[in-house]
Amino acid sequence: MGILRLLLALSVVVWHSQQPFGFHFLPGDIAVRIFFAVSGFYMSLVLTSKYHDVTTFWTNRALRLYPTYLLFVVLYWAWFDFSWARLNHTEVVPVV
């Protein structure tokens, strides 16, 4: 099922890149609809077979996703601090 989802995602990427070399799998809108249908089926399969409690599912999902999210937030703020304060961008730009 992972290979099918990968092919559908690549189909959307190829569709958005103007079909290089005239090559395309499926039209992008159809690939997105199939991708969501397959993902929904897969999520319901995981919820009914692996997790008996929805709270356990959401806890595992949060523990898997939020550390990466928080890492990138910290990296973004570090880059913002470096580029704004360290590169002498101290003037305030008015919003028009």
pLDDT digits (tens, 9 = 90+) for 50-78: 888 888 888 998 999 999 999 999 999 98
- Say whether both 2 and 29 belong to one domain: yes
- Count of domains observed in the chain: 2
Q: Are residues 41 and 71 in the same domain?
A: no
Same structural domain, 11 and 38: yes
Could you report how far apart the first and last alpha carbons of the chain are, in Å?
A: 49
Q: Do 4 and 41 fall within a single domain?
A: yes
Residue type, 21: F
Same domain, 40 and 61: no
pLDDT, mean of residues 1-26: 81
Q: Would you state the pLDDT for residue 33?
A: 94
Let me know how long the chain is: 96
Same domain, 31 and 71: no
In this structure, the answer to whether residues 56 and 46 fall within a common structural domain is: no
Please state, in angstroms and as integers, the Cα–Cα distance from residue 35 to each residue in 12, 32, 46, 50, 67, following that order: 10, 5, 16, 22, 26
pTM: 0.56
Domain extent, residue 61, equals 52-96
State the burial class of residue 11 (Cβ atoms within 10 Å of its Cβ: 0-12, 13-18, 19+).
buried
Quick check: 61 and 47 in contact, CB under 8 A?
no
